[in-house]
Each structure stands twice: as C-alpha cells, then as structure tokens.
Amino acid sequence: MEKPWKSYLPTACAALGILLLGGTSFVCAGLERGAPANRVWVAAAMAAMALLGLLLLRLEGCGGDTLLAMLLPLGSAMLVRALCLDCVTDDFLDFLSPWYAYFKANGGFAAMAGSVGDYNVPYLYFIAAASYLNVPDLYLYKLFSILWDVALAWGCFRLVRSLGGERQGSAAPLTAFAAALLLPTVVVNGAYWAQCDVIYGALAIHAAALALEGRGTPSVALMALAFSFKLQAIFVLPLWGVLWLAKRVRFRDLWAFPLAYLAVVLPAAAMGKPLKDIFGVYFHQLGEYPRLVLNAPTIYQFIPYGAEVDQNAASALGIAAAGALVLALLALGWRLRGRMSRDTAMAAAVVLCIGVPFLLPRMHERYFFLADVFTLCWACAGPRPRRVSPAVLAEGASLASYCVFLRLKYNCVLRLGGLTFVMGLETLAMLAALAFALRELAGAVKTDLRRRPV
C-alpha cells in the first residue's frame, strides 16, 4: 500500500521548484550588466531551459508526477547558475570577450574568414551568431553552456537507461539527470567559468548511449560533432574502435565520422576561412602550452615541484603509456568480439576517460570533464556500489583542480623527505579512481568471457 505522503511528494517538489525558479528570476533581475530588458531576457532564457528539461523528460516517456518532481532539481540547478552569471574570470577577459568583440566589430559571420580565437569553427559559429544580439557577452557565453548542461543531463538519462536503468521502478535515469545538472564541475565549468567543455561532453554521452543501443551511424556522427568542438573528445574516441573490434559497431558506421566532421567545418571555408586554419587548429593547440602539466591531477604531479626533468622524454613516455592503454583496450575488444556486454563497454569508456588524460602531458584541469560525467552515469546505473568510488574520487580531484586555477592557490601542498608535491592528494585520488575502474573492467571482462559469442 502506498504511503499517503508519497501522493503529495510530486506536488511539494513542484511547488519548491517553482519557488526556486522564481528566485532565479529575482537574481536575474539584479544582474550587474546590461539594461533591464537584457535582464528580463536572461531570466526568460533560464526559465525556458528549465521548461526544455521537462520537455526532454516528457519525450523520454516520463509521466506527470515525475515531471512535477523533477521541477525541484531543475529549479535548484537554474538558481545556482543564476548566482554565477556575474562572475568573471581571467579566461573570459583575456580570450572570450575579445573574440566576441572581434565578431561584433567585423560583421558577425562575415568575420569568420579572419584569424580569431584558438577554438574550432563550430564554437566560432556560435560567437558569430551571438554577436548580433544586444545582450552582454558574458551572459550569452554562459547561457549557451547552460543550454548544453540541460542537453548533458538528458544524455545522462539516456545513457543510464541504456545500461539497464529502465528496470521497473528504477529511478536511476532520473537520478542521473538530476545529478548531472547539479554536479559541481558542470556548474562551475559553464555558469561560473564560461567554459564550454559541456558541449563535447554532452555529445559524447549521447553518442555512447546510441552506441550501446546499437545505433552505430548516428553515434559515430555525434562523436564527430563532439570532436569538432573540442580536441579533448579524443580521450573517449577509441571506445568506438573497441566497439568495432567487438562487433558492436559496423565498419560502415565509422565512415560517418569524416562525413559529419566535414559537414560541420566546411561552411567556414565557404565563408572564406582558410583551410589551413580550419584543419590546423588542433595542431596549433598541441604546441600552445609547453609545460608538462597545467593544474591537472595527472601522473606528472608525482614529479616533485621544481625538479629538473627532460620534458621531451617525459612527454614521450606519457604519450607512449596512453597509447599502450588504448592498444590494450582495442585488444580487449578483439578478444571479446561478439561477447562484449554493455557493462564492459561502459567500463572501457570510464577507463579511457580517466586513464588517457591521466597519462598524457600538457593537460589542463578541465580535461577530466569526460571522466566526471561518465563516472557519474556509471555510478547511477549500478548495481555495484563499488562504482560509486570512481565517481566520487574523479569528481573530487577534478573540482579541487578547478579550485587551484580559479583561486590561483594550491589546495594542499605535501612535503615528504624534503620534496614538495603541490597537487599530490588530487593526483592520488584520480589514480585511485583509475584503479577502481580497472578492477571493475576486469570483473566485467571475466563475466563476458563466460558468454557465448553472438
């Protein structure tokens, strides 16, 4: 028999959610930039994104009571983001705002032919389109990322459901939806920092969901779109090679990648942007920061602070180690051809998202964004409680790394035997997350090896 209070819970959540959305509008009305009409526009955009979240859940078959209950996390998510809208970081002042000013001064899309920014052209399309609006650029950047926060939450819902969260009575997909909206690194990345890692993160999550559902072509096309936004999508990209070798993705599906990528970037060429700028942007990024590590919890943080090392040799070793990890997972896909389960595929994705950036040189603190969201989905999908550990450890290490950059101060400096380690705890946490993920992958592989090939 259903407890009486449960029948009132959706209504109570909806009332609280609406109250929080009202608080969101109140915060937007007091924003520091722009005219009153701009603030109304921002408030309306925030409300529209909450409504979009409900519409996406309805599209996924959620009923009325569920939608009422989900107003609470949606309202909470919008309020906390509204409180971040006026925050300004050096990245915005040094890069994003000048890029916007360039497009504004040079005719929007007409400025695509010029050399501006070090992001690939899909994000430049957004900046060009935004330059036609008379809204403060700080809010436009952040609202675009918040829109993708909602898309990310939807993708987490779909990925968890594809992993088995559709069991009768299971709240796992809804938990993933709400948790993704409120995950600290997701909130900080876009609404506070005005970064856009959520774009390729959301696309990669949706692509993984499609792959596990057996929809190879759209899955690969979405990964091409993710890669077109940010090079860091490459961390999880080898998963599709693993799935192909395991016979979960067909070879003809892989052709969707170059076709989709070209469809996205070639309009910039039609606008006059040189092809060398379009196809050379990622090569330029690779040489932009020569340091071994930039506030990221990677293996290079185990080198004592101030120690002199051969950076070229250390970089080569890290690249070789990351390559070896990818090759090992590709070999695993071949070994499990016709037998790889969804759980094993997801475990491989988590190992890639943590392991590849952990081993590579020149990583920034934001480059574990995929690890944050994939481990979250993995933990929500269950049923093993041990999958919660990688999610907590990866998110904690990632968020602590954000704090190092945003505060310009290390969180906890360790001194051992006369040696100084400036991010030792964060790195140990990320290493532990990788170890837990590898253990879970090994267990999933053992289970798959006992299955008959399909």
User: What is the DSSP secondary-structure string of 62-99?
Assistant: --HHHHHHHHHHHHHHHHHHHTTTT---HHIIIIIHHH
Mean pLDDT of 419-441: 96
Answer whether residue 177 shows pLDDT above 80.
yes
- 233-246 burial: b if 16+ Cβ within 10 Å, else e: bbbbbbbbbbbbbb
Residue 4 included in any domain: no
* Percent of the chain topping pLDDT 70: 97
pLDDT, the chain, mean? 94
Token reading at 73: 């996390």
Tell whether 18 and 119 lie within a shared domain. no
- Answer with the one of 51, 86, 121 that is the final residue of a domain: 86
Q: Left if phi > 0, otherwise alpha if psi is -120 to 50, otherwise beta: which for 107?
A: left
Report the pLDDT value the prediction gives residue 117, as an integer from 0 to 100.
83
Mean pLDDT of 403-409: 94
Tell whether 28 and 160 lie within a shared domain. no
- Answer with the one of 86, 103, 137 that is the final residue of a domain: 86
At residue 63 the predicted structure's pLDDT band, cuts being 50, 70 and 90, is very high
Answer whether residue 5 shows pLDDT above 80.
no
AA letter at 257: F
At residue 418 the predicted structure's pLDDT band, cuts being 50, 70 and 90, is confident
Q: Give dist(CA 451, CA 454) in Å, integer.
A: 9
Tell whether 283 and 164 lie within a shared domain. yes
Domain that holds residue 261: 87-449
Cβ atoms < 10 Å from Cβ of 363 = 27
Say if residues 275 and 269 touch (Cβ distance below 8 Å): yes
Answer whether residue 208 shows pLDDT above 90.
yes
Q: Give dist(CA 392, CA 388) in Å, integer.
A: 6
Q: Which alpha helices (DSSP H) does 161-286 contain, by range?
A: 172-182, 184-187, 197-212, 216-229, 238-245, 256-270, 275-286
Tell whether 73 and 116 lie within a shared domain. no
Taking only the tens place, the pLDDT of each residue in 368-404 is 999 999 999 999 997 677 899 999 999 999 999 999 9
Residue 1 included in any domain: no
Token reading at 413: 């400096």
Answer whether residue 224 shows pLDDT above 90.
yes
Report the pLDDT value the prediction gives residue 166, as an integer from 0 to 100.
53
Q: How many CA atoms lie within 13 A of 385 on its CB side?
A: 0
Tell whether 68 and 127 lie within a shared domain. no
Tell whether 229 and 216 lie within a shared domain. yes
Tell whether 65 and 99 lie within a shared domain. no
Tell whether 73 and 121 lie within a shared domain. no
Report the pLDDT value the prediction gives residue 4, as an integer from 0 to 100.
63
Taking only the tens place, the pLDDT of each residue in 35-61 is 999 999 999 999 999 999 999 999 999
Report the pLDDT value the prediction gives residue 451, as an integer from 0 to 100.
84
Tell whether 264 and 250 lie within a shared domain. yes
- Answer with the one of 86, 113, 142 that is the final residue of a domain: 86
Answer whether residue 232 shows pLDDT above 60.
yes
pTM, full prediction: 0.96
Q: Give dist(CA 15, CA 20) in Å, integer.
A: 9
Tell whether 278 and 181 lie within a shared domain. yes
* Percent of the chain topping pLDDT 90: 90
Report the pLDDT value the prediction gives residue 113, as an integer from 0 to 100.
93
Higher-confidence position of 95 and 384: 95
Mean pLDDT of 317-323: 98
At residue 3 the predicted structure's pLDDT band, cuts being 50, 70 and 90, is low
Report the pLDDT value the prediction gives residue 290, as an integer from 0 to 100.
78
Number of domains in the chain: 2
Cβ atoms < 10 Å from Cβ of 340 = 25
Higher-confidence position of 164 and 272: 272
* SS3 state of residue 338: coil
Report residue 230: phi and psi, to 5°.
-145, 140
Taking only the tens place, the pLDDT of each residue in 137-172 is 999 999 999 999 999 999 999 999 999 855 545 789
Tell whether 422 and 343 lie within a shared domain. yes
